[in-house]
C-alpha cells in the first residue's frame, strides 16, 4: 500500500470532524474481486483526493441538503455488483441494500453474496450494519454483524460508539468486539480527538486494549497544522515505542494562488531526519475540476514517475471516466492500468438524492463533486494486452426509488437540562415537552464504561436520578428515547 495516500485519507478525516461529517461511503463500486490491499489503497486514493483538493475553497457543510417541509427525493435502495465472464456475459457477484429513517439517515446496510454468481439465483446474507443516531443527526453507535448460516441468524461481531463535545465534534470513539467466550462487548480500540481554537482537528491519538492488563496502550498519533485559510499544511504521524512518541511519517501540502492543493509531499523518518518518500501533483481545468494527478516516488535523490490518473468530466460536472496509468521504466512511457466509466440520470441532481452517507469521511461532499447527478452505473475495465483497448471486468448498478423525506422538527429532547451540575447524591433531568413512553438514562465514565442505567416509564417532564454510589469526578450522562439520544457532561462532587 502506498503510505502517502493512507495518510492523505487520514488528514481529510481529521480536518473537519464535526457531527455532520461522519460518513461512510458504502454504495460506490468496491471492485471486491481485487485484493484487500488494492481495495484499501483505491479507497484511500479515489475517495479522498477530490474532496481534499477542493475542501479549502468550498468549505462545504456536509450532510443532506434538505429544505424545510417534506421533500420528495430519490433514495438509493441497492447497489448490485457483477463480474464479466469469458463469453462476455455478466454474473451477479454481490449486492448491498440500504434502509433509511424518515429524515433520510442511513439506519441499516445489508451485504449479500450471490449463491452461485448467476443471474436469478438466491442472494445469501453476508454482513449487516445497524446505525443509531442522537438528535436525529449524530451517529452514536454502529453494530456490525455476520450471517451465521448454521444458526440461520445474524451474529453481532463488532460495535463502535461515538461521543461528542458541546460543539457536536467527536471526542472519543470506542471499538469493541464480542467476546467469544463471554458473549460480552470487549474493548479493542480507543481514539481520542483534540481541536484547536478554530475548531479544527489538532491531534488524534489511537490506543489498543491490552487484554492481559485491561489497560489502554498508546499505538498511533497524528498532529495537524494549518495555514491562515484553514488549509492543512503539515500532518505528522507518530508511533509509540513503549516509552515515548517517535516520528514515523510526515505529509506537507502546498496550495496555488486560488487556494487549491497543487502539491503533496510525503516524508519518512529515518531515525535522525526526514527523508523524501512520495509526492503527488494535482492539475485542474479552468473550472477548477481535478483533471490529472501524478504520483512520484523517490530514488537516488530524484523523483521517479509512478502512477497517473486522468479524469474526464461532462459540462454539468459529472465524472465520465477515471483512467489509471503506471509508469514503465523500461519503455519510459505511461501504460494503461485500469479504468472506470460512469453513466447518470441527469434528471436528478445531487440535492434530490438520499444516499447512504452517515459521517466521518464526508463522502456526501465527495459524491457531489465527482457525480453531480444520479449515478446509474460504474464499469471497471482492464487493458487488453498490446491492443490499446479496454476489457470490462466488473460492473456496479445502482437502483433508486422515491421517498418523502421529512424535515426534522424542533426537537425538545435537545433542550434537556441536568441540574444541579455539579451534583451531590442526586440530580434531576428536565426535558421540556417530552412525550414518550420510556426514557433510558445511562452514566458512563470517561473510559466509556457504563456504570449505571435507569429506565423511566412515562416521565412527566423531569427525572430524578440518584448517584450516591459514584465517586467524585466527571461522567457522561446519556439519555435515549426510541432512536433518539443525547449526551451531556455530568460532574459529581
Domain boundaries, the chain: 3-405, 412-492
DSSP string, 339-378: EEEEEEEEEEEGGGEE----SBT-HHHHHHHH--EEEEEE
Residues 375-396: tens digit of each pLDDT: 999 999 999 876 678 999 999 9
Q: Which CATH class is domain 412-492?
A: mainly beta
- β strands within 165-287, DSSP E: 170-178, 185-195, 201-209, 216-226, 232-240, 245-255, 261-269, 274-284
Q: pTM to 2 decimals?
A: 0.70
392, HSE (Cβ side, Cα atoms, 13 Å): 18
Q: What is the pLDDT along the chain (493 residues), one digit of tens a residue?
A: 333 333 333 333 333 333 333 333 334 444 322 222 222 222 332 333 332 222 222 222 222 223 334 678 899 999 999 998 888 888 888 999 999 988 888 899 999 988 765 555 678 899 999 999 886 578 899 999 999 988 889 999 999 999 988 777 889 999 999 988 888 999 999 999 999 988 889 999 999 999 899 899 999 999 999 988 888 999 999 999 999 999 999 999 999 888 788 999 999 999 999 999 999 999 998 878 889 999 999 999 999 999 999 999 988 888 999 999 999 999 999 999 999 999 999 999 877 888 887 554 444 444 555 677 899 999 999 998 766 789 999 999 999 999 887 754 444 455 577 888 888 889 888 765 555 557 888 898 766 678 898 888 756 667 889 998 898 887 888 887 765 667 777 888 8
Report pLDDT for 385: 76
Q: What is the pLDDT of residue 434?
A: 55
Burial class from Cβ neighbours inside 10 Å (0-12, 13-18, 19+) for residue 109 reads buried
- In tens, the pLDDT along 53-67 reads 222 222 222 222 233
Instruction: Annotate 412-472 with DSSP letters as a single string.
Output: GGGG-EEESSSBSSEEEEE-TT---SEEEEEEE-TTS-EEEEEEEES--SEEEEE-TTSPS
Amino acid at each position: 500500500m502506498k503510505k502517502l495516500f493512507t495518510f492523505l485519507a487520514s488528514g481529510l478525516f481529521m480536518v473537519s470532524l464535526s457531527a455532520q461529517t461522519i460518513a461512510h461511503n458504502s454504495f460506490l463500486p468496491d471492485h471486491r474481486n481485487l485484493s484487500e490491499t488494492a481495495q484499501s489503497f483505491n479507497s484511500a486514493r479515489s475517495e479522498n483526493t477530490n474532496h481534499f483538493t477542493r475542501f479549502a475553497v468550498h468549505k462545504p457543510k456536509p450532510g443532506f441538503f434538505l429544505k424545510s417541509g417534506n421533500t420528495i427525493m430519490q433514495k438509493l435502495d441497492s447497489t448490485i455488483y457483477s463480474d464479466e465472464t469469458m463469453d462476455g456475459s455478466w454474473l451477479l457477484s454481490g449486492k448491498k441494500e440500504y434502509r433509511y429513517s424518515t429524515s433520510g439517515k442511513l439506519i441499516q446496510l445489508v451485504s449479500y453474496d450471490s449463491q452461485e454468481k448467476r443471474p436469478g439465483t438466491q442472494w445469501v446474507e453476508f454482513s449487516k450494519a445497524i446505525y443509531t443516531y442522537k438528535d436525529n443527526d449524530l451517529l452514536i453507535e454502529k453494530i456490525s454483524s455476520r450471517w451465521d448460516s448454521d444458526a440461520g441468524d445474524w451474529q453481532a461481531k463488532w460495535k463502535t460508539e461515538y461521543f461528542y463535545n458541546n460543539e457536536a465534534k467527536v471526542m472519543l470513539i470506542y471499538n469493541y468486539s464480542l467476546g467469544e467466550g463471554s458473549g460480552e462487548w470487549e474493548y479493542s480500540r480507543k481514539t481520542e480527538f483534540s481541536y484547536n481554537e478554530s475548531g479544527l482537528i489538532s491531534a488524534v491519538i489511537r490506543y489498543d486494549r491490552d487484554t492481559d492488563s485491561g489497560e489502554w496502550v498508546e499505538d498511533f498519533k497524528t498532529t495537524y497544522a494549518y495555514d491562515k485559510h484553514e488549509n492543512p499544511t503539515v500532518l505528522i504521524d507518530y508511533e509509540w515505542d513503549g516509552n515515548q512518541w517517535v516520528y514515523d511519517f510526515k505529509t506537507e501540502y502546498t496550495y496555488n494562488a486560488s487556494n487549491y492543493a497543487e502539491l503533496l509531499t510525503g516524508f519518512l523518518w529515518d531515525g535522525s531526519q526526514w527523508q523524501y518518500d512520495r509526492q503527488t501533483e494535482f492539475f485542474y481545468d479552468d473550472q477548477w475540476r481535478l483533471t490529472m494527478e501524478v504520483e512520484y516516488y523517490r530514488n537516488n535523490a530524484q523523483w521517479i514517475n509512478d502512477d497517473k490518473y486522468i479524469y474526464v468530466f461532462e459540462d454539468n460536472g459529472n465524472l465520465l471516466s477515471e483512467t489509471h496509468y503506471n509508469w514503465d521504466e523500461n519503455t519510459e512511457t505511461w501504460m494503461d492500468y485500469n479504468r472506470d466509466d460512469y453513466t447518470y440520470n441527469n434528471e436528478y441532481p445531487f440535492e434530490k438524492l438520499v444516499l447512504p452517507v452517515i459521517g466521518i469521511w464526508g463522502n456526501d461532499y465527495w459524491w457531489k463533486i465527482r457525480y453531480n447527478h444520479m449515478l446509474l452505473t460504474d464499469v471497471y475495465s482492464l487493458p487488453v494486452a498490446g491492443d490499446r483497448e479496454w476489457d470490462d471486468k466488473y460492473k456496479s448498478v445502482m437502483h433508486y426509488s422515491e421517498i418523502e423525506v421529512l424535515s426534522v422538527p424542533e426537537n425538545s429532547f435537545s433542550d434537556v437540562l441536568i441540574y444541579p451540575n455539579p451534583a451531590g447524591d442526586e440530580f434531576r433531568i428536565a426535558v421540556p415537552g417530552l412525550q414518550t413512553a420510556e426514557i433510558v438514562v445511562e452514566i458512563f465514565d470517561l473510559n466509556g464504561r457504563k456504570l449505571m442505567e435507569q429506565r423511566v416509564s412515562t416521565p412527566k417532564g423531569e427525572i430524578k436520578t440518584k448517584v450516591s454510589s459514584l465517586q467524585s469526578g466527571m461522567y457522561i450522562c446519556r439519555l435515549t428515547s426510541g432512536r433518539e439520544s443525547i449526551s451531556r457532561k455530568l460532574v459529581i462532587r
